[in-house]
Amino acid sequence: MAATASAQPGLWALLTPKWRGALARLRQERSGSRPKLLLLALVGGTFWTGIFGIAYRVLRYIQRVADIGDLLAGKMLGIILLAFLTILLLSNVITALSTFFLAKDLDLLVGAPVASTRIYLAKLGETIVHSSWMVALLALPILSAYGIVYSGGPLFPVIAAAAFVPFLVLPAVAGTIVTLLLVNIFPARRTRELLGLIALGALAVVVILLRIIQPEQLARPEGFRNFVDYLAVLRTPTSPLLPNEWATAMIMNWLLRIADPRPVLLLWGSAAAAVVLGALAHRALFEPGYSKAQEGAERKVRRPLRGPLGVALRSLPPDKREFMLKDLRLFFRDNTQWSQLILLGVLLVIYIFNIKSLPIHSGERIPFSLVTIISFLNLGLAGFVLAAVAARFIFPGISLEGRQMWLLRSSPLDPRAMLWSKYWMGTAPLLLLALAITILTNSLLRVSPFMMTIAVGTITLYTLAASSLALTFGIYYPQFGSENAAQIPTSFGGVVYMMASLSLLALVIMLEAVPVAAHLRAAQRGHGTTLTPDLLLALAGVALLLVLSTIVPLRLGASRLERMEISSGKVEPE
């Protein structure tokens, strides 16, 4: 009667539901509205072209630097891949927790007579795809620039892929092993809550490491005692034991026509060994860990959270007030959510510390134009931080309603009231943060009152627009089925949102920088401080662009929310 115990399903068969599901989603997207696809192509195309353009120009410039150009290019690739490696490590731990311990298909797989190694390999493949696709997409234009600038030839894509695949596998295996260990020490639900703190620790270490390495000193050779010291720093791998150096060496060896098989062997050998090690760890630790993952639900409430906040929101109608209170409760009771605030705090302190340590006002008088350039760069950096914070906290707003949408949609709650609550719940603290960063950093840079006014005005309007975009992209690309809130911002929609908000930021700075800089130069030369028509036009243009970028997405979001159909926790196609 029973099937033979030795008959094992193929790896491909185990992955069938996943890739079939992905194909079905892709078909659904493709059959979606044409303007949406057009917008997607436009935003994606602009972003990719931008990244490729920057990488190409920087590489062309570096290549021309006599003697050390190639070394600098290699060093830059090493640092970029180190950043990727850090992101991949974190993202793999978060993803592995979902794919190995919280996914819905696990009961079926674990209950079936499937060998542990096959489950491991199938789930490892799934983890790699989920956690690495964004890094792979980002690497594509950068590696293309390297291939073109250094004339890598038609085989370069194959070499780059051969270097990149084991580079993606290694952190994925590390992520799965860390997750296996964590789940065996803490139940999965608690591990998920610990992840915020782990991410915080890991990122803080990386940022502090970067501050110790000080990559910016590579751009200032005059800071070294002599040229030999500088060359020594360039020749030494930043981290010889990490795969980013091996991948860099493999790619650069090909581009510089150096025959050295060591990086290839190191990459592929260690990737293969890591997979074997991961499978062994999985065989020993998965079953007890999976059993523990079913336990650990929290029962008692730590903070009832009424009192002062309830009083503060008392003037609102009951539906809006309880909706906001509900969101606050869910946020502060979910450690994966609030622990990100600590992370944000650490990053902000480092950001402000870096601005403070810029050698602008330390010694000799530096050109006025440099301060202006730096204050615009600061505006860009602050905008980037705000867009990323909005991606983390505002973009998931609608997705987090998830399977409870039935309650909201069957009640007489106006979808616009829901949108209003979500928008201001996210935007109010973000605006406070934006103003605090801008005022503090511009005070440290000692910019003129005029520049301060421009920066504060721009960042205020940009924050309103970035929040609006985050919320609306979250409505258009909801992740109702997500088992892990930390994964929502790195979903496809989250990445498209980041591209859109960063493109908007670049446009704002481009529109504003030239006339404002001209005005500041004229004012410094004593040519009067009257506002020229050019300047007024640029400022009005920026204001109009940002106001439209706030209102139009919110309207689209409200209309989409009204039309949204939920069928058993999943959005129906329109």
**Sites of contact with other proteins (CB under 8 A):** 297-301, 317-319, 321-323, 325-326, 329-330, 333-334, 402-414, 563, 565-569, 572-573
Closest separation in Å from C-beta 408 to other proteins: 7
Residue type, position 56, single letter: Y
Q: How far apart are CA 438 and CA 542, in angstroms?
A: 18
Closest separation in Å from C-beta 318 to other proteins: 4
Closest separation in Å from C-beta 187 to other proteins: 12
If the CB atoms of residues 260 and 562 are measured against other proteins, the closer one turns out to be 562
If the CB atoms of residues 412 and 449 are measured against other proteins, the closer one turns out to be 412
If the CB atoms of residues 19 and 406 are measured against other proteins, the closer one turns out to be 406
Which residues is 570 bridged to in the sheet? 567
If the CB atoms of residues 36 and 303 are measured against other proteins, the closer one turns out to be 303
Decide: 476 and 493 in contact? Cβ < 8 Å. Answer: yes
Residue type, position 167, single letter: F
Phi, psi of 512 (to 5 degrees): -90, -40
Closest separation in Å from C-beta 37 to other proteins: 18
- In sequence order, the 6+-apart residues with CB closer than 8 A to the CB of 187 are 292, 293, 295, 296
Six token digits for residue 525: 């030369």
Six token digits for residue 26: 């892709």
Angstrom CA distances, 59 to 149, 232, 485, stand at 7, 21, 38
Six token digits for residue 516: 């404002």
Closest separation in Å from C-beta 461 to other proteins: 33
Six token digits for residue 549: 């970028």
If the CB atoms of residues 289 and 402 are measured against other proteins, the closer one turns out to be 402
The dihedral over CA atoms of 145, 148, 150, 156, expressed in degrees to the nearest 10, equals 100
Q: How far apart are CA 98 and CA 7, in angstroms?
A: 28
Please identify which residue in the block is written with the tokens 């867009």. 387
If the CB atoms of residues 385 and 408 are measured against other proteins, the closer one turns out to be 408
Six token digits for residue 235: 């020749």
Phi, psi of 107 (to 5 degrees): -55, -45
Six token digits for residue 80: 């970029």
Closest separation in Å from C-beta 403 to other proteins: 4
If the CB atoms of residues 28 and 291 are measured against other proteins, the closer one turns out to be 28
Six token digits for residue 372: 């202006």
If the CB atoms of residues 21 and 53 are measured against other proteins, the closer one turns out to be 21
Count the residues in the chain.
574
Closest separation in Å from C-beta 28 to other proteins: 10
Closest separation in Å from C-beta 413 to other proteins: 5
If the CB atoms of residues 70 and 334 are measured against other proteins, the closer one turns out to be 334
Decide: 438 and 455 in contact? Cβ < 8 Å. Answer: yes
Closest separation in Å from C-beta 331 to other proteins: 9
Q: What is the DSSP letter of 400?
A: G
